[in-house]
Amino acid sequence: MLNIKKSNWAMFCASIVTCLFVTMPGLADAAPTHAGPQFVSGSYADPDVQNYNGTYWVYPTRSTQAGEPPGTGVKSVDLFSSTDMINWTKHPNVISSANISWLQHSLWAPSGAYRDGKYYLYFAANAINGDGQLGGIGVAVADHPEGPYTDAIGAPLINVVRNGAGPMDQDVFIDDDGQAYMYYGSWGECNVVKLNADMKSLGTWPDGSVYKKVTPTKTGDNDFFEAPKVFKRNGIYYMTYSAGIWADSSYKVMYATSSSITGPFVPKGMMLHTDTTMSDGPGHNGIIQSPTTNDWYIFYHKRYLNSSPRVLAYDKFEFNADHTIIPVKMAVEDNFEDGDDAGWTKYGGTWTVSGGQYHVASNPGAKALLDTNYTDLIYEADVTPGSTGNAGVVFRVSNPGTGADAYQGYYAGLDVPNQRVLIGKANNNWTSLATAPMSLTSNTKYHVKIVAQGESIKVYVSDMTTPKINVTDSTYTSGSVGVRTYDSAAKFDNVSVQNSRYETENLVVSGTSGVKHTMFGNGTGRDLSLSSGFGTTLEANAVNDYVTYTVNVPEARSYSVKVGVKKGPNRGQFQLSVNGINHGPVQDLYANALSYAELDVANITFSSAGNKSFKFNVAGKNGSSSGYNLLLDYIKLVPN
């Protein structure tokens, strides 16, 4: 769960359309593109997000804390507010068992709404399994968004199971005509009900019914499991929802669309899923839009790779021209403008955040790491070294501990006393790999970039076109990233990491011919034959159908382009083009039985680094094939 970067600010006005919708006239404010590694401290999940008069309010599920009795579940709700989506204020215990007479255990998935001067908080409680049990969806009301909230009706609002939908994970959506609706459901089914003007009683549909089933059409792959969230854009109703198992890597966000408030909702694809380089099981989300910039944001929970508690994050997302959602690519970034280092694990030293920088006092070998697992990467950070020792970045780190060389991995540092850049590797001892002279001044900020691909490691300082150091070493192939100091006080800022070779978990569709694009190998479990458990499918039906992906090219040079594919009976042929130019021969994906292969597609010389459009155009099909489909696992760029 590593996405942070509080840059690229976007001006936000007040009336914000939200998945748990509330619209109010308000003030202009600003928002970053990402929020992470997590935007509030502590373990929280299931975030709803609202905007009231220019202030953002996040409604999450709180995890059990030390000292609370086991086995009874959490019995209170904390809220978080922010005017800039960077600095958040905690509002603890806005409602609890003290305010809800029928609450016995498990208060979770709160969501918010506003109407006629009152603020409403909807929640799930007691986890009922059928009619006649005490529990379901409740509603509380307050005069202020921070509460205190009181139970509005003294009983559950919905306490029955209809159409197989568990009464939980509710989402309030207010349409353009002012009619309020509540979508809710778990156990694989979803309902919508009308809310009356009092926001605490249910209305009826024209046919006299109360509950309408609106479960997105089931296809057998990533079907609806829970947590519907609805928003409207260009006359289209979008429902995001969670699929997979909430406790493991299969948990993810899918979405469906409809022209009607009551559906049918047709699945359109995946919006957010596990990325094995940075975070696990993202899901149960909220949505919010800026009406002034047209920027959209998804708030969600996720897990770090090596820990089970859930934490909160958000990312900006965008739409294709055909109104489909471009899948979210979670980021690994931190510029410390939020004043904390949530998500970093420290090994030795005294670490503090102030002035938008990460400070460490002089220490013989202090490290701070992000829970990531990168093989090939582009890692950038601003490093301000002190007058003694050296300071810099570590990568491909494993087995970290407290001590100067208590880790396995690589370190690139700025050595002011000796006026040099250095790189070496540690394994409870230190091995120097290379040094390069450079004029360095203490307490001066330098931009450092590492480009590591296979055994090739390049270190750039200030000049991002010519590496200061270029070495080869194959000792360590993957691991965490972080920052480090050796006998030097130092500051760090603008940390950013991205995958430089595989796009396995990050194949983000940037355009299609309009045919269905889905994911494969990520239903209730992983397809272990995939390189990292996920692949993408273009369900093509004709020659010249296509799918394109935006792929980051780390540096200007010649690469061998390899593509991991899943061959099979209904596969087509494709021609690869990059930025509109065809490369390599036509590739045939037909096979008698399902199999995986890595194809050597082309050798391409790129004149510049940066994002390139990789287009897979359907060129035909094998005479024995039953279809034109393309199933892609990853794109790999191997430097020549």
Question: What is the spatial distance between Cα 610 and Cα 551, in angstroms, rounded to a whole number?
Answer: 8
Among 29, 46, 223, 380, which one carries the catalytic annotation?
A: 46
SS (H, E, C) 270-304: EEECCECCCEEEEEEEEEEECCCCCCEEEEEEEEC
d(CA 190, CA 30): 34
Helix, strand, or coil here: 363?
Answer: coil
Distance between CA atoms of residues 254 and 223, nearest Å: 8
C-alpha 81/C-alpha 47 separation (Å) is 12
Per DSSP bridges, beta strands 546-553 and 107-115 are unpaired
Work out the number of other CB atoms within 10 angstroms of the CB of residue 350: 12
CA distances from 114 to 178, 200, 449, 612 (A): 12, 12, 47, 44
Q: How many CA atoms lie within 13 A of 406 on its CB side?
A: 14
Residue from 332, 342, 373, 368 nearest 482 by CA? 368
> What dihedral do alpha carbons 328, 409, 40, 30 form, nearest 10°?
-50
Q: Closest Cα partner for 371 from 307, 311, 275?
A: 307
User: What is the distance between the alpha carbons of residues 284 and 276, in angstroms, rounded to a whole number?
Assistant: 19
Give the distance, in angstroms, between the CA of residue 272 and the centroid of all CA atoms in the same chain: 6
CB 535 within 8 A of CB 527: yes
- What amino acid occupies position 167? P
Compute and round to an integer the Cα radius of gyration of the chain: 26
Beta-strand relationship, 490-499 and 377-385:
antiparallel
Cα atoms in the Cβ-side hemisphere of radius 13 Å centred on 630: 30
CB contact at 8 A, 488 and 389: yes
**Which one is catalytic: 169, 171, 226, 295?**
226
Residues 96 and 77: beta-carbon distance below 8 Å: yes
Q: In this structure, are residues 554 and 374 in contact, taking their beta carbons and an 8 Å threshold?
A: no
Token representation of residue 73: 């579940």
Question: Is 226 one of the catalytic residues?
Answer: yes
Q: Which residues contact 308 (CB under 8 A, 6 or more apart)?
A: none
- Report H helices in 67-198: none
For residue 482, give the amino acid letter: G
| Pair type for strands 357-360 and 351-354 | antiparallel
As beta bridge partners, residue 613 has: 550
Contact between 421 and 435 under an 8 Å Cβ cutoff? The reply is yes
Q: Among candidates 192, 180, 164, which has minimal Cα distance to 120?
A: 180
DSSP secondary structure letters along 450-464: EEEETTEEEEEES-S
DSSP state of 162: B
List own/partner pairs for 254-258 with CB under 8 A and 24 or more apart.
254/216, 254/222, 254/224, 255/325, 256/216, 256/217, 257/323, 258/214
CA distance 436 to 429: 21
Q: In DSSP terms, which residues pair with 248 in a beta bridge? A: none
Catalytic site positions? 46, 226
